[in-house]
C-alpha cells in the first residue's frame, strides 16, 4: 500500500474515491484533489518535512488557528477547515513518518496566480485584513515558529555580515554599491523587532506569505473567501503581512527585472491595498500599527533584498536561480523599491490618513 493510499484510508471520506490527482501550483507540499462517488471533493496534502523539519508543530499551529477561525465565521467557505482522521486527530502520520492533512474542497472558488485587475489585488487585501481581524484575540505567543527568526531583520543583518566576511565566491567586489546601500540602512533594521519586544507593537498571528495565490476568491463574484496555505503562520507583527503584500503586489516590475528604470512602487496600488486591508481590519489594529504600515512595506522590502544579496554572496544556496546573477538582480530591484518608498513615504503616510478618514 502506498503512503497516499494509507492517507486516504485514514480519513472518513464520504464515499469512495473515484479520482485522485495532483492539484494546484504549489512548490513545497504534495497536494492532491480527491473526488468521491458521492460528489464530495477534498484536498489532501503531504507536508514537506525537508522544508518543515518539525511538521507536528506546524500542524499544531494550523489546527489551532483553523479551529479558532471556524468559530468566528459561519460561512463554510470563510476559512480552511481541517477534517479529523478516523481516530480524531488533526493529521495523519504514514508508515514513512510523513504528515498528511485533509481539507474540504472549497466549492465554486478560484485561486489566481496573478492579479488580473486592481480589484483582485484589493480582494487579497480584504482577505488578509479579515484574517487579522478574526485572529485579533488569538494568543499568538502560543504558536510555534516553523521558521525561527523569519522576520527578525536584525538577525538577517547578522547573517549578511557573516556572508560578507566569508565572501566564499569572491563576489563582494561585484556588488560594492549594493552592499553599501544595505549597510547604510542597518540602523533601521530593528524598528519593528524592538517595538514588538517592548510592547509598542502587539504580537499578532502572521501569515508570512501574503500573495494573491494564497487567497481563495468566489468564482462568480471574485470576492475574497478565505486565506489558504497556513504553513508559515507564526507570532509576529501585522506590519509583516501588510508590508510583504506591498513589496510584491504594488511593485511595477518583476522581482528579478534587470532594467531598473521599470522598477517602482505604485502609489495607486498602495492605496488600493490599504483601502481593502484597513476596511477589513476594522478597529482591530492599534493606531501605532496603522501609522507604521508604510514602514512595514519598506522594512519587508529591505529585508527581502538583503536576503537576496546574502544568498548571492554565499553562492545562491537558498533561493532557486535560473541564470547567473539572478539573486543580485533581485537584490537590486528590492533596493530600488526601498529607495522609491523612501521618496514616497510622505505620500504613503498621507494615503493612510485619507483612508482612515
Position 25 pLDDT exceeds 90: no
The 3-state DSSP composition of the chain as helix, strand, coil percent (nearest 5) reads: 50, 15, 40
Position 247 pLDDT exceeds 80: yes
Q: Over the stretch 117-138, which tens digit does the pLDDT of each residue have?
A: 999 999 999 999 999 999 999 9
Q: Do 125 and 100 fall into the same domain?
A: no
pLDDT on residue 220: 95
Whole-number Cα distances in Å, 77 to 145, 183, 185, 226: 27, 45, 43, 7
CA gap 46, 36 in Å, rounded: 19
CA gap 50, 29 in Å, rounded: 10
Q: What are the cell numbers at 70? A: 471556524
DSSP 64-90: HHHHHHHTT---TTSS--PPP-TTS-S
- Mean pLDDT of the 217-223 span: 95
CA gap 192, 152 in Å, rounded: 9
Does residue 110 form part of some domain?
no
Q: Do 36 and 74 fall into the same domain?
A: yes
pLDDT on residue 1: 81
pLDDT on residue 160: 98
SS3 149: coil
Nearest to 63 by CA among 79, 44, 82: 82
Q: Over the stretch 124-183, which tens digit does the pLDDT of each residue have?
A: 999 999 999 999 999 999 999 998 899 999 999 999 999 999 999 999 999 999 999 999
Average pLDDT over the chain, rounded to an integer? 95
What is residue 260's DSSP assignment?
G
Does residue 113 form part of some domain?
no
Whole-number Cα distances in Å, 348 to 163, 231, 266: 34, 31, 10
pLDDT on residue 235: 97
Measure the CA angle with vertex 124, ends 129 and 137; round to 5°. 20
Domain region containing 288: 118-356
Position 307 pLDDT exceeds 90: yes
pLDDT on residue 115: 87
What is residue 297's DSSP assignment?
H
Position 319 pLDDT exceeds 80: yes
- Mean pLDDT of the 210-235 span: 95
Does residue 34 form part of some domain?
yes
Position 26 pLDDT exceeds 80: no
Q: Do 61 and 16 fall into the same domain?
A: yes
Percent of the chain with pLDDT over 90: 92
pLDDT on residue 9: 96
Q: How many domains does the chain have?
A: 2
Does residue 192 form part of some domain?
yes
Position 27 pLDDT exceeds 90: no
- Mean pLDDT of the 24-30 span: 81
Q: Over the stretch 35-91, which tens digit does the pLDDT of each residue have?
A: 999 999 999 999 999 889 999 999 999 999 999 999 998 889 999 999 999 999 999
Give the CATH number for residue 25: 3.30.200.20
Q: Do 79 and 212 fall into the same domain?
A: no
Per-residue pLDDT band at 113 (split at 50, 70, 90): confident
Are 223 and 283 within 8 A, CB to CB? no
Percent of the chain with pLDDT over 70: 100
Does residue 188 form part of some domain?
yes
SS3 210: coil
pLDDT on residue 357: 78
Residues in the chain: 357
pLDDT on residue 13: 97
Phi, psi values for residue 280, rounded to 5°: -80, -30
Q: What are the cell numbers at 348? A: 504613503
- Which residues partner with 102 through β-bridges? 44
Does residue 2 form part of some domain?
no
pLDDT on residue 28: 83
Q: Do 35 and 145 fall into the same domain?
A: no
Total-model pTM: 0.93
Give the CATH number for residue 212: 3.90.1200.10
CA gap 333, 329 in Å, rounded: 6
pLDDT on residue 29: 92
Q: Do 67 and 155 fall into the same domain?
A: no
Element (H or E) spanning 246, and its range? Answer: helix 238-249
- Which residues partner with 104 through β-bridges? 42
Per-residue pLDDT band at 320 (split at 50, 70, 90): confident
Does residue 146 form part of some domain?
yes
- Mean pLDDT of the 26-31 span: 84
Q: Do 186 and 66 fall into the same domain?
A: no
pLDDT on residue 199: 96
pLDDT on residue 92: 97
Amino acid at each position: 500500500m502506498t503512503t497516499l493510499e494509507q492517507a486516504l484510508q485514514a480519513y472518513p471520506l464520504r464515499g469512495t474515491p473515484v479520482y485522485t490527482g495532483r492539484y494546484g501550483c504549489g512548490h513545497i507540499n504534495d497536494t492532491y484533489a480527491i473526488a468521491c462517488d458521492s460528489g464530495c471533493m477534498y484536498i489532501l496534502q503531504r507536508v514537506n518535512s525537508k522544508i518543515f523539519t518539525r511538521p507536528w508543530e506546524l500542524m499544531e499551529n494550523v489546527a489551532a488557528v483553523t479551529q479558532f477561525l471556524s468559530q468566528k465565521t459561519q460561512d463554510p467557505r470563510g476559512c480552511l477547515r481541517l477534517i479529523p482522521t478516523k481516530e480524531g486527530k488533526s493529521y495523519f502520520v504514514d508508515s514513512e513518518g510523513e504528515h498528511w492533512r485533509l481539507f474540504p474542497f472549497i466549492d465554486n472558488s478560484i485561486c489566481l496566480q496573478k492579479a488580473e485587475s486592481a480589484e483582485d489585488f484589493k480582494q487579497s487585501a480584504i482577505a488578509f485584513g479579515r484574517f487579522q481581524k478574526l485572529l485579533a484575540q488569538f494568543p499568538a505567543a502560543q504558536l510555534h515558529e516553523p521558521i525561527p527568526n523569519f522576520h527578525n531583520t536584525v538577525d538577517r543583518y547578522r547573517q549578511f555580515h557573516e556572508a560578507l566576511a566569508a565572501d566564499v565566491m569572491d563576489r563582494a567586489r561585484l556588488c560594492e554599491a549594493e552592499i553599501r546601500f544595505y549597510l547604510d540602512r542597518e540602523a533601521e533594521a530593528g524598528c519593528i523587532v524592538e517595538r514588538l519586544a517592548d510592547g509598542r507593537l502587539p504580537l499578532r498571528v502572521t501569515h508570512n506569505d501574503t500573495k494573491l495565490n494564497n487567497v481563495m476568491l468566489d468564482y462568480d463574484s471574485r470576492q475574497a473567501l478565505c486565506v489558504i496555505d497556513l504553513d508559515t503562520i507564526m507570532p509576529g507583527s501585522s506590519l509583516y503581512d501588510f508590508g510583504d503584500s506591498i513589496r510584491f503586489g504594488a511593485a511595477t516590475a518583476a522581482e528579478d527585472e534587470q532594467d531598473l528604470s521599470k522598477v517602482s512602487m505604485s502609489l495607486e496600488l498602495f492605496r488600493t491595498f490599504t483601502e481593502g486591508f484597513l476596511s477589513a481590519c476594522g478597529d482591530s489594529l492599534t493606531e501605532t500599527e496603522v501609522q507604521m504600515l508604510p514602514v512595514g512595506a519598506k522594512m519587508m522590502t529591505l529585508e527581502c533584498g538583503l536576503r537576496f544579496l546574502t544568498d548571492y554572496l554565499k553562492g545562491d544556496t537558498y533561493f532557486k536561480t535560473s541564470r547567473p546573477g539572478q539573486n543580485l538582480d533581485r537584490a537590486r530591484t528590492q533596493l530600488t523599491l526601498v529607495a522609491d518608498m523612501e521618496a514616497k513615504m510622505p505620500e504613503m503616510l498621507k494615503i493612510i490618513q485619507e483612508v482612515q478618514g
